[in-house]
């Protein structure tokens, strides 16, 4: 009987982020779509609504990249999940860099769009460790979006996210050169030393090797 794996992309990305991954045989692969947030919606409520897109019965596996990893942990609180796989993400509040708290306390994320979003191109490209044309194209498309409703909600959700529950059978793959979530604050199960935040694309060979070992158990 096939196992069910649901993939959750990161902030501003879509299912193309998984194009270079190859999963072990015996898995049916699904992409769990992001939905529009409600005004001031708590992440727990959002996760419950997003979990409605899971149609498989029984325990499933979830793989999330970046914010998608955080969301996979929230979904695991409201429905049976056999395995959580995080890539370039965090699993506990303690793994957030301290300066995220400064941004939250100073409310820098609430500055006008013209200051923090419309002029963000160079910062985003540097922050995400862009290496390939494929990555550059994905980021370019993200930067052309002019409706920042979801982005503002997601950034606020990350800054205020609190979690100290780590589910069993969790796989956490992280890059040694990740900038949004620096490795010095994170305790992953697997490290790709030269991997950046986009390593799901540009270090897929290493990620696939780890997945091949971790998903066959």
pLDDT digits (tens, 9 = 90+) for 196-216: 988 998 899 999 999 999 986
What's the rounded Cα separation, in Å, for the pair 194 and 205? 13
Which of the two residues, 129 and 20, has the higher pLDDT score?
20
Token pair listed for 103: 């941004």
Q: Is the pLDDT of residue 103 over 90?
A: no
Q: In the structure, what pLDDT confidence band is assigned to residue 13 with cuts at 50, 70 and 90?
A: confident
Q: What is the mean pLDDT of residues 41-45?
A: 96
Indicate if the pLDDT at residue 217 is higher than 60: no
Q: Comparing C-alpha atoms, which of 205, 151, 137 is closest to residue 173?
A: 205
pLDDT at position 88: 96
The pLDDT > 90 percentage for the chain reads 59
CATH number of this structure's domain 3-214, picked from the four choices 3.20.20.140, 3.40.50.300, 3.40.50.920, 3.40.50.1820: 3.40.50.1820
29: left (phi over 0), alpha (psi -120 to 50) or beta: beta
Looking at per-residue pLDDT, the higher value among 115 and 183 belongs to: 183
Kindly list the distances between the CA atom of residue 142 and the CA atoms of 39, 102, 125, 181, in Å, as whole numbers in the listed order.
22, 26, 11, 20
* pLDDT tens sequence across 109-160: 453 344 354 445 544 555 566 666 776 677 666 656 656 788 888 888 998 9
Task: For the chain, give the mean pLDDT.
Answer: 85
Query: Which is nearest to 99 in space by CA: 36, 184, 177?
Result: 184
Q: What confidence score (pLDDT) does residue 149 get?
A: 81
């Amino acid at each position: 009987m096939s196992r069910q794996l649901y993939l959750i992309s990161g902030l501003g990305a879509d299912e193309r982020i998984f194009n270079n991954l190859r999963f072990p045989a015996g898995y049916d692969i699904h992409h769990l779509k992001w939905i529009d947030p409600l005004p001031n919606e708590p992440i727990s409520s959002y996760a419950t609504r997003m979990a409605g897109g899971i149609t498989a019965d029984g325990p499933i596996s979830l793989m999330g990249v970046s914010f998608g990893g955080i969301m996979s942990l929230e979904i695991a609180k409201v429905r049976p999940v056999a395995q959580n796989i995080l890539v370039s993400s965090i699993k506990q509040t303690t793994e957030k860099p301290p300066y995220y708290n400064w941004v939250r306390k100073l409310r820098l994320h609430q500055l006008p769009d013209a200051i923090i979003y419309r002029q963000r191109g160079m910062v985003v490209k540097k922050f995400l460790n862009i290496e390939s044309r494929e990555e550059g194209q994905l980021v370019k498309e993200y930067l052309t979006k002019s409706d920042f409703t979801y982005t503002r909600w997601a950034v606020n959700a990350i800054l205020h996210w609190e979690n100290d529950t780590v589910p069993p059978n969790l796989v956490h793959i992280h890059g040694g050169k990740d900038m949004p979530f620096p490795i010095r604050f994170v305790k992953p199960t697997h490290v790709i030393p030269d991997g950046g935040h986009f390593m799901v694309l540009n270090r897929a060979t290493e990620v696939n090797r780890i997945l091949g070992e971790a998903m066959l158990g």
